[in-house]
Amino acid sequence: MSKLPAILSRLDADLDASLARLSTWIEIPSIGTDPAYNADTRRAAEWLRADLESLGFEASLRETGGQPVVLAHRRKPGAPHVLFYGHYDVQPVDPLNLWVDDPFKPVVKEIAPGRKVITGRGACDDKGQVMTFVEALRATLAETGDLPVSLTIIVEGEEESGSANLPGFVKANAEELKADLALICDTGMWDRETPAITASLRGMVYQEVTITCADRDLHSGLFGGAAANPIHVLAGIIAQFKDETGRITIPGFYDGVEEPTNSQKADWADLGLTEAEFLGQIGLKHSIGEKGRMLLEQIQSRPTCDVNGIWGGYTGEGTKTVIASKASAKVSFRLVGKQDPHKIAAAFQQFVRERLPDDISAEFIAHGASPAIAVPVDSPALLKAQAALTEEWGRKAITIGSGGSIPVAADFKSLLGMDTLLVGFGLDDDRVHSPNEKYDLSSFHKGQRSWARILQVLGA
C-alpha cells in the first residue's frame, strides 16, 4: 500500500518547522563570491551537511580549492540511482538600502490576501529550493524509514560565481557521482499555479574587461581635448555590441543558434505573453530584444548580451575633473543551442581589441564559459515527473525553456553522460539576484509535496 498519503500529511503538519529550518539556513550569509564571507559560506555548507547526516546520510564537506562541496550518499542497492544537485551560496545583497527587511533575517509575511512568502537572500535561489527536496526526504524517511531510490546529493558553494571548481570536482570524482539521472531544483514554474519542467537552459560566457589609456589619472583641464579617455573608449565599444535591430554584432556569435520550428512558434503564440504583461511588472513597456522575434523567443531561446556592471573615474559625491587611466565592465552572454562558449569568449576579446587605438590596451578576466543544454522531453523519467507534478498542482505540468544558465547540467551530460531533470518552484517575481528576494510558501510547501511524489515514481 502506498505510503504517499502519510508522507504528504506529514509535510503538511511539519510546514512551520520546515520554515524554521529554512530561516536558520538563510540567516547564514553565504555570499560565496565575496572572500569576506568565506567563513559564513563554509558555515552554510556545514549546516546542510549536519542536517543530511541527521537524516542518515553519509555526508561530508569536500574541498575544491574554492568553496567546499557538500556531498552526501544514502545507498539502496538495486534501486535506481539519482544524483540531486543544488547550491548553498547566494548572490551579493547590494544595494542594501533597497531591502525592506534584512536580507539575512528572513520574515514570513502576507503580500496579498492568502499569499504568504518568506523573505531573504537565498529564500528562493537556492536555499528554499534545495530545502523543498530535503524536506521531502525527511518526511519520506520519517514515515517509511527508507528512500525509494539510491541517492547522492551534491550541493556546491560557487554557483553564483560561475562554478569555477565544480567541473574539475565532477571529473575527479566521476565514479562516485555517476548516477542514472540528475535532479536539479534551481528553476521556476510557469506561473503561480502551473508547474513546469525546464527542458532547455541557456549557457553563459562571463568576461570582465579593463581599458587602459594614460598611465595615470589626469587633470581634464590640462589633458582634456587630447588625451584618450577610457570611459569614452569603453562606452564606444559597448555601443557596438548590438546593432539597431537588437542583433549582437560580434562575428560568429550566432554560429550554432537554431531557428525555432513552426510548432515552437505556435506554442509561444498560444502562451500569449505580451511585452506589457511581462515587462509591466518591472516598470517597463517595451522589449529591447531582437526585432521580428516573439518575446518568449527573445527571453528563452535566443542568446543575449548584457553589461552587468561598469565603473571608471570618479564615482563619489560631487565633482572631480579627472580623466581616468582605466575603465572596466563586466559583460555576460547567455548562450543557446550549439554556441561554443570558448569561441565566443575569444571572439568577444578580439571584438574589443580590434576597436582599440594602438596606444590603448585592454585586459580581460574570464569568469566562466558554459554551453547551453537541452534535455529530451520524452524520457521516461521526465514523463513520470510530469505526471507527479500534474497530480500535485491540479494543472498540467508544462515543459519550458529557461533563459537562465545552470552550467552543471552540461557538465553532468559531458562528463558523466547523465541527463538532468530540472524541476523548480521559483516565480518570476521572486527577485532572485535583486533586493527583497522571496519565496512563496505555496512554492515551498507544494514543492516539498511535489518532490515526495517524484521520489516515489522514480523509485517505482
Question: Hey, which residues between 120 and 179 contact a second copy (CB under 8 A)?
Answer: 160-162
- Pick the binder of a second copy from 105, 232, 338, 396 (CB under 8 A): 232
Q: How far apart are CA 421 and CA 205, in angstroms?
A: 23
What beta strand segments (E) does 63-133 contain? 69-74, 81-87, 108-112, 115-119
Q: How far apart are CA 31 and CA 36, in angstroms?
A: 9
CA distances from 438 to 12, 24, 279 (A): 21, 15, 19
Question: In angstroms, what is the minimal distance from the CB of 95 to a second copy?
Answer: 8
- Pick the binder of a second copy from 307, 377, 383, 460 (CB under 8 A): 307
> Residues binding a second copy: what is the number (CB under 8 A)?
102
Segment 263 to 292, residues that bind a second copy, using CB under 8 A: 275, 278-279, 282-290
Closer of 135 and 297 to a second copy (Cβ): 297
Question: In angstroms, what is the minimal distance from the CB of 54 to a second copy?
Answer: 32
Closer of 206 and 393 to a second copy (Cβ): 206
Segment 204 to 223, residues that bind a second copy, using CB under 8 A: 204, 206, 213-223
Question: In angstroms, what is the minimal distance from the CB of 57 to a second copy?
Answer: 30
Q: Which residues contact 348 (CB under 8 A, 6 or more apart)?
A: 205, 207, 250, 331, 333
Residue whose C-alpha cell is 579627472: 322
- Pick the binder of a second copy from 58, 191, 243, 306 (CB under 8 A): 306
With beta carbons less than 8 A apart as the criterion, state whether 95 and 103 touch.
Answer: no
The 314-343 site mask, x for binding a second copy (CB under 8 A), equals: xxxxxxxxxxx--xxxx-x-x---------
- Pick the binder of a second copy from 98, 174, 266, 377 (CB under 8 A): 98
With beta carbons less than 8 A apart as the criterion, state whether 57 and 73 touch.
Answer: yes
Question: In angstroms, what is the minimal distance from the CB of 433 to a second copy?
Answer: 4
Length of the chain (residues): 460
With beta carbons less than 8 A apart as the criterion, state whether 363 and 212 touch.
Answer: yes
Segment 30 to 59, residues that bind a second copy, using CB under 8 A: 33-35
With beta carbons less than 8 A apart as the criterion, state whether 415 and 371 touch.
Answer: no
Closer of 108 and 322 to a second copy (Cβ): 322
Closer of 175 and 359 to a second copy (Cβ): 359
What beta strand segments (E) does 180-277 contain? 181-184, 196-201, 203-212, 218-219
Segment 332 to 391, residues that bind a second copy, using CB under 8 A: 332, 334, 357-360, 367-368
Q: How many CB atoms lie within 10 A of CB 4?
A: 19
Binding range to a second copy, per CB under 8 A, among 73-81, 92-100, 262-270, 389-397:
92-100
> Applying CB under 8 A, does 238 fall inside the site for a second copy?
yes
